[in-house]
Structure 1
Amino acid sequence: MATSMRKLAGCSTCIYFASSRFSTSLPFRKITPNKFKGKQSSRDWVTRQLNDPYVRLANEENYRCRSAFKLTEIDDNLRIIKPGGIVIDCGAAPGSWSQVAAQRIQLKSKHDGTQKEGMVIAVDLRDIEPIDGVTVFANSDFTKSETQSKLLRMLDNRLANTVLSDMAPNASGNREHDHQVISELCLSVLKFSSQVLESGGHVVCKLWDGSEKKKLLSVMNRMFETVKTIKPDASRSDSAEIFLVGLYFKLRKK
């Protein structure tokens, strides 16, 4: 179970290097790795990383992975992260989404004249290096009941504003099988979200597009006032990756 549900490690191996600030819409000289020994597929991967503007920008902004810009785009458009709020980040390694969330909840915000503490909780099967302003549950399988019990104890009867999931299985080479597994991860996140989200809360789930999408959207439509399917600019065009976003949780009894 733990192996099949392990989150993809691609972002943790991003190649970062310093550069001046630039617009991702501007062309730049293609870089080809020199004296690189290995399979052609590995060489192609390195070349893509070296020439990826989001990899460069992640280095410049001190994010751990290019995926940070997927979340920033979603939040810029939909405002799913609430200042002073509580965010749970599932499949958090290496930690770029948690970095974004910690910045955007601003950790402390004034609400009705009082100081309100924000909190980000990150959980992943893999190890996660410490992140400022984030409580980390590393080497923890989100799909296991004991891990979810730890998260509930951490919340201490408080409700989350936002649940994020960038979880995905290791690719097996069988696209339909992988789609089924990531769909199960989405359902696990939605079930957990129904326990912890405040009324009006939000959820974001990564999915590889496929046959189960319609079923997941049906479940989300019963849970949320508005449901959107988004493919951020930072998602690679040749990837089946999409994000299902549920806005304004409506099942919490007031």
Structure 2
Amino acid sequence: MMYCVSMLQKSWLHTSVRTLKKTPHNLKGKSAADQRWIVRQLNDPFVKAAQDQHYRCRSAFKLLEIDEKFKILKPGCSVIDCGASPGAWSQVAVQRVNSAGTNTEIPIGFVIGVDLLRIAPLDGAHFLSFCDITARATQTQLQELLPAARADVILSDMAPNASGFRELDHERVVTMCLSVVDLAESVLQPGGSLVCKYWDGGQAHQVQGRLAHAFREVRTMKPKASRKESSELFFIARFFKKK
């Protein structure tokens, strides 16, 4: 059964105030940063909801909320999931575009995920593990695998490993975003959509400008599953203007 974000809010977010204030045990020997991470995970309603609904990680709820609002993932769509590991966004895409063919009464879509890391197999998705989405060979392989060599939707939850230097990390994530826009200009269908994570900062306008040139509509959104202290935001670009 697929749960929408409003159901998550009513059940888990309300319950969390009463039940998820947990104190972890066995923290001896762990660094202060590790201890903070463990406490945060234990008290995060989206972590618990992901476990209960069998998503690979909590980020699934970011895409669920985005799609509830913008209706990007439709049955029969072909989807590229950039930076797919561990596969939670691909899980959502498989459900929404019916790429596993579980519903025989609606069109069957196609989902392909790419990551530098290994991605565990998922029914309804084709994964290219240990592949660089910016590499020409990877993009050629994508076009060979995609129906009609084109995608209807490109998703990107990619982010660099944090260096600890905010400006450097921001610059690196902007570079990643621009590479996703490059990919869209190569493989996206006219009228297609793109969802791309970025970190707010002084260079984000570069990505927004490129998107505004390539798409008729560009919006930004911070899903409820994005932590308040994070600078994480998402561009949602729709109606690709393929020449």
Same fold, judged at TM 0.5 (above): yes
Q: Which residue of 1 aligns with 2:7?
A: none
Mind listing any 5+ residue stretches in structure 2 that lack a counterpart?
1-9
Return closer, same or farther for 1:78/1:156 CA change in 2, 3 Å cut-off: closer
SS at match of 2:120: coil
Matched, 1:89 2:81: yes
Structure with more of its chain in helix, by fraction:
2
CA deviation after TM superposition for structure 1 residue 213, in Å: 1.0
CA deviation after TM superposition for structure 1 residue 115, in Å: 7.0
SS at match of 1:221: helix
Matched, 1:174 2:169: no
Which of structures 1 and 2 has the larger relative contact order (alpha carbons within 8 angstroms, sep 6+)? 1
Return closer, same or farther for 1:167/1:190 CA change in 2, 3 Å cut-off: same
- Contact persistence 2:160–2:173 (CA under 8 A): yes
AA aligned to 1:89 is D
Matched, 1:28 2:18: yes
- Number of aligned residues: 230
Q: Which residue of 2 aligns with 1:201?
A: 192
CA deviation after TM superposition for structure 1 residue 195, in Å: 1.5
Q: Which residue of 1 aligns with 2:228?
A: 237
Q: Distance in 1 between matches of 2:39 and 2:106?
A: 48
Q: Choose from 143, 147, 166 the match for 1:152.
A: 143
Structure 1 segments of 4 or more deviating over 6 A? none
Q: CA RMSD in A?
A: 1.9
Matched, 1:66 2:58: yes
AA aligned to 1:150 is Q
Matched, 1:226 2:217: yes
Q: Distance in 2 between matches of 1:115 and 1:78?
A: 20
Structure-1-length-normalised TM-score: 0.86
Mind listing any 5+ residue stretches in structure 1 that lack a counterpart?
1-20
Q: Distance in 2 between matches of 1:62 and 1:69?
A: 12
SS at match of 2:218: strand
SS at match of 1:157: helix
